[in-house]
Amino acid sequence: MAKILIVEDNVANMKLAVMLLLNAGHVVVCATDAESGLTLARAELPALILMDVQLPGMDGFTATALLKRDPTTAAIPVIALTAMAMQSDREKSEVAGCDAYIAKPLRYMELYAAINKLLPSEPVHSPAPEPCAASDS
């Protein structure tokens, strides 16, 4: 379980992404444009960001570059979402500092795989207790 920020202006895509993330047990924070996405990223410090590339006003690559330049948000992994699997978008996403890149429409297995790869592994168990040195056996 992780807090994930989605920046997506398309209502249907947003609904799908939210549903997939909730189903995976994540907490979701939403923004429909880059400016409010940047504000939310700084305020909420999500574990990961799904960033649509085509947004009204500032695009997702520009927003990602700003996040990566800000020490507060630089470490947050960003997965770029684009409508078309264009090679130029892949290159631009790398230049902007995106950690991964997914072509829409979202497929849940691809999304989950990308997220799991980027999320810091969660502590599974607390360390096993030290065997008691004073145990009398």
Q: Give me the residues that bind Mn ion (CB under 5 A), please.
A: 9-10, 52, 54
**At its nearest, how many Å lie between Mn ion and the CB of residue 31?**
12
Nearer to Mn ion, 41 or 50 (CB): 50
Closest CA to 74 of 123, 106, 38, 20: 38
Order the strands of the 3-7 sheet from edge to edge: 27-31, 3-7, 48-52, 78-82, 100-103
Q: Which is nearer to Mn ion, 10 or 62 (CB)?
A: 10
Separation of alpha carbons 104 and 83, rounded Å: 5
Q: How far is the CB of 33 from Mn ion (least distance, A)?
A: 10
- The residue at minimum Cβ distance from Mn ion is 54
Least distance CB 35 / Mn ion (angstroms): 14
Residue 115 CA to its chain's centroid (Å): 7
CB 19 within 8 A of CB 31: no
Nearer to Mn ion, 9 or 44 (CB): 9
- Toward Mn ion, which CB reaches closer, 35 or 119? 35
Minimal distance, residue 51 CB to Mn ion, in Å: 10
Query: How far apart, in whole angstroms, are the C-alpha atoms of residue 67 and residue 126?
Result: 33
